[in-house]
């Protein structure tokens, strides 16, 4: 039994979970759909919590409606609140899509949201109604990433249409930053390839300055693009874990992954390929090889030079990062991308942790280590269902030099007096989180520079005499 298992057995409750709620992930996706207004079917507190987290990270106004459960609603059901909420949103926002996510409370009392939607559509037959996309997202089923992927699947199921195979490629990129999405658009354009990225919140959650407030911010994947996702030449999905939360094996076939990409493949014959999130040279190479295959074009010179500069940076900065010990935490597929990158630059991941509950993290990290051909001095501790207090209990013996993850790890890094490289979501104690690049050669370059400089700065600040050259 490893140390992490022994520590976790001392507690019967999660303490400061290393994950967020499933409807939050759903809300991020809905904000990345053109003309979509999210509505949380549950208590007002759920919507308020989600708005607070998203506004603090993205520094943008975020409107999320709520059916506003009360004690009475919890006993007698939320049908009336649901209808009133839909009516209010349509009257005030005139959305193209109503994105509806359920909460723990709504699911626990057995609310049949699809039936409520059908009843509403029947009662308003003949009217110009928005599309309705529903995602079942109780947080006891998994994390915000389970909610994210369930919602992408829901939106595609509602809107995708079959048709003559086009020249475009679907990209289901997962929970990345608006800057990452903008960079992906540039990459597709550089390959001369048309991409349908779902979701696309690169504008809606990182808008330019508005003189007047907009009820529906600009941006989002156009509905026409989602409709033609069923006629794409191929789909690419970043990740391997996706929405396999704690109940996945109990309510679904655990060997059959249900994502937007697999659904399009099975239903509309769109070939689907899954790859590790392209952080680092190796993972980005695989992504670019796919784009070359689909476009028929070689890697553009611009990106070849970005790769060359990144390799040069690895050589120049190797002595500052090699052999350092890191704690990596966050969403499972994001963490897997980071581990692949860290192995490239010689940093040893001594703890790989996620609040996700797939149970697949150890298997996937082991696969990445074996594929990299790296021999580690210390086998990393790899844990699903982790919380920050458990991480805090473990770190003394791990002797990390650096932590890599969201700002929720700050108090641990502060106590240990080691650098925290803020990546992913949420980042609440720094400015510009929505503009952080993580992926591709360019994003990897920025991430490598941040890690190297954090380690250099730490050594410089701890020096008794100080120095001006490295």
Sheet-wide strand order for 272-275: 194-197, 168-172, 234-238, 272-275
Q: Kind of pairing, strands 65-66 and 402-405?
A: unpaired
- What pLDDT, in 10s, does the model give residues 21-48? 999 999 999 999 999 999 999 999 999 9
Residue among 333, 120, 159 nearest 240 (CA): 333
Q: Residues 278, 440: contact at Cβ < 8 Å?
A: yes
Tokens describing residue 397: 């013996």
pTM: predicted TM-score of the whole model, two decimal places: 0.94
- What is the pLDDT confidence band of residue 449, given thresholds at 50, 70 and 90? very high
The CATH number that domain 314-462 falls under is: 3.40.50.1980
Say what the pLDDT of residue 6 is: 43
How far from 280 is each of 18, 248, 344, CA to CA, in Å? 24, 30, 7
Q: Tell me, what's the pLDDT at 252?
A: 56
pLDDT at 455 (0 to 100): 97
φ, ψ of residue 64 to 5 degrees: the values are -135, 120
Q: In angstroms, rounded to a whole number, what is the distance separating the alpha carbons of residues 158 and 245?
A: 23
Residue 329, classed as helix, strand or coil, is: strand
Q: Where in the chain is the domain with CATH 3.40.50.1980?
A: 22-275, 314-462
DSSP state, 374?
P
In this predicted structure, what is the pLDDT of residue 77?
A: 79
Phi, psi of 120 (to 5 degrees): -65, -45
Confidence band for 16, pLDDT divided at 50, 70 and 90: confident
**Tens digits of residue pLDDT in 159-203:** 999 999 999 999 999 999 999 999 999 999 999 999 999 999 999
Residues 249 and 309 sit within 8 Å (Cβ to Cβ) = no
405 phi and psi angles, rounded to 5 deg: 170, -165
pLDDT digits (tens, 9 = 90+) for 317-346: 999 999 999 999 999 999 999 999 999 999
In DSSP notation, 161-214 reads ---S--SEEEEE--S--HHHHHHHHHHHHHTT-EEEESS--TTTTSPPP-SS--
- State the DSSP code for 323: T
Q: Who's near 88: CB < 8 A, 6+ residues apart? A: 65
Residue 417 vs residues 35, 49, 168, 388: alpha-carbon distances, Å:
45, 30, 48, 16
Give the C-alpha separation, 221 to 38, whole Å.
15
At 385-435, the pLDDT tens digits run 999 999 999 998 999 999 999 999 999 999 999 999 999 999 999 999 999
pLDDT score at 136:
94
Q: Is the peptide bond before 426 cis (omega within 30 degrees of 0)?
A: yes
Query: What is the predicted pLDDT for the residue at 165?
Result: 96
The Cα–Cα gap between 367 and 361 comes to 10
Tokens coding 233: 């030449």
> Residue 251: which pLDDT band, with cuts at 50, 70 and 90?
low
Percent of the chain with pLDDT over 70: 95
Start-to-end CA distance of the chain, whole Å, equals 43
β-pair partners for 353? 329, 383
Taking domain 22-275, whether its CATH number is 3.90.1640.10 is answered by no
Q: Which of 394, 451, 388, 395 is nearest to 419 (CA)?
A: 451
- Before 276, cis peptide (omega within 30)? no
* Of 469, 468, 459, 463, the residue nearest 321 (C-alpha): 459
Quick one: residue 59, left, alpha or beta (phi over 0 = left, psi -120 to 50 = alpha)? left
């Amino acid at each position: 039994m490893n140390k992490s298992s022994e520590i976790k057995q001392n507690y019967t409750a999660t303490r400061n979970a290393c994950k967020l709620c499933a409807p939050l992930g759903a809300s991020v996706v809905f904000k990345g759909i053109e003309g979509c207004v999210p509505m949380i079917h549950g208590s007002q507190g759920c919507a308020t919590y989600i708005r607070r987290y998203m506004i603090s990270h993205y520094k943008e106004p975020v409107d999320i409606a709520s059916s506003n459960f009360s004690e009475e609603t919890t006993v007698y059901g939320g049908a009336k609140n649901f209808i009133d909420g839909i009516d209010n949103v349509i009257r005030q926002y005139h959305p193209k899509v109503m994105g509806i996510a359920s909460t723990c409370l709504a699911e626990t009392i057995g609310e049949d949201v699809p039936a409520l939607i059908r009843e509403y559509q029947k009662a308003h037959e003949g009217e110009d109604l928005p599309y309705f996309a529903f995602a079942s997202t109780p947080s006891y089923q998994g994390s915000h990433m389970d909610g994210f992927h369930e919602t992408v699947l829901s939106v595609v199921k509602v809107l995708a249409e079959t048709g003559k195979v086009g020249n475009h490629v679907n990209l289901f990129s997962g929970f990345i930053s608006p800057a990452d999405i903008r960079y992906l658009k540039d990459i597709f354009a550089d390959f001369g390839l048309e991409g349908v990225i779902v979701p696309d919140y690169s504008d809606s959650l990182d808008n330019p300055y508005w003189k007047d407030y907009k009820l529906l911010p600009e941006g989002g994947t156009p509905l026409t693009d989602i409709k033609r996702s069923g006629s794409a030449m191929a789909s690419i999905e970043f990740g391997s874990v996706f929405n396999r939360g704690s109940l996945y094996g109990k309510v679904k076939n655990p060997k059959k992954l249900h994502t937007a990409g697999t659904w399009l493949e099975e239903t509309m014959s769109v070939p689907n390929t899954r790859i590790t999130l392209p952080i680092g040279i190796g993972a980005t190479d695989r992504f670019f090889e796919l784009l070359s295959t689909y476009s028929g074009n070689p890697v553009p010179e611009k990106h070849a030079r970005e790769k060359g500069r990144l390799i040069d940076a690895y050589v120049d900065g190797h002595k500052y990062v090699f052999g350092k010990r890191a704690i990596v935490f966050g969403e499972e597929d994001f963490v897997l991308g980071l581990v692949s990158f860290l192995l490239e630059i010689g940093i040893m991941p001594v703890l790989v942790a996620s609040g996700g509950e797939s149970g697949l993290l150890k298997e996937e990290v082991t696969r990445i280590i074996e594929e990299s051909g790296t021999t580690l001095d210390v086998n990393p501790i790899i844990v699903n269902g982790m919380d920050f207090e458990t991480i805090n209990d473990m770190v003394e013996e791990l002797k990390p030099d650096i932590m890599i993850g969201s700002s929720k790890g700050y108090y641990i890094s502060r106590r240990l007096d080691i650098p925290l490289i803020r990546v992913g979501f949420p980042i609440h104690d720094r400015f510009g989180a929505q503009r952080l690049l993580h992926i591709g050669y360019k994003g990897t370059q920025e991430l490598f520079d941040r890690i190297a400089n954090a380690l250099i700065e730490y050594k410089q600040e701890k020096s008794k005499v100080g120095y001006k050259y490295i």
